[in-house]
Amino acid sequence: MPLGSAETLALAGMMGSGKSTVAEHLGRLLGRRVVHLDDAIVRAAGRPIADIFAEDGEPRFRALEREAVAALPAGVVADLGGGAFCDAASAARLLAVGRVVFLDVSAAEAARRLGACGGDAARPLAARWPELLARRLPLYRRAHLTIAVDGLSPEAVARRILESL
């Protein structure tokens, strides 16, 4: 079934899976606005994510993330943070208002990508990647669609998503 104009298209997955870049390609291909959830959180909090984690802790960040998911406008392409779809309330909302695509990346590919973009200074949870994947994978599997991204360009991932919808 084709994606409706009011349906949100949300990209979920681990850091390094390409959510942000693929979202930009999908936004262009679909003629839709792209919302980067982490950017929305930074704007709302008035400070970087690393500072939120350091000063207020992960629970506060997750609360801000839930608020950002709840505020997503209809019909956007949403680049979710790695943990956003793992929150029960956020996942339920996202599954109800559109389509969720899990970008499945291997640990080796994610490490290569994260290293290529300057390390993990802005990613407070990067050091816990394998542990996070083990905990999050069953939650990511609830997505409407899974796309394996290893070896694919962001453009190819975007095309696969559109072909699968």
Using DSSP, state whether 19 is helix, strand or coil: helix
pLDDT value at position 74? 94
- Token match 């699968």: residue? 164
pLDDT at 39 over 80: yes
Q: What share of the chain is helix, strand, coil (3-state, %, to 5)?
A: 55, 15, 30
Q: Report how far apart, in Å, the C-alpha atoms of 20 and of each of 2, 13, 15 are.
A: 22, 11, 10
CB atoms within 10 A of CB 118: 8
Looking at residue 117, its pLDDT comes to 52
The Cα–Cα gap between 16 and 110 comes to 4
Average pLDDT, the chain: 89
pLDDT of 127 strictly over 80: no
Q: Residue 121 above 70 pLDDT? A: no
- Of residues 15 and 13, more confidently modeled: 13
Mean pLDDT over 45-73 rounds to: 93
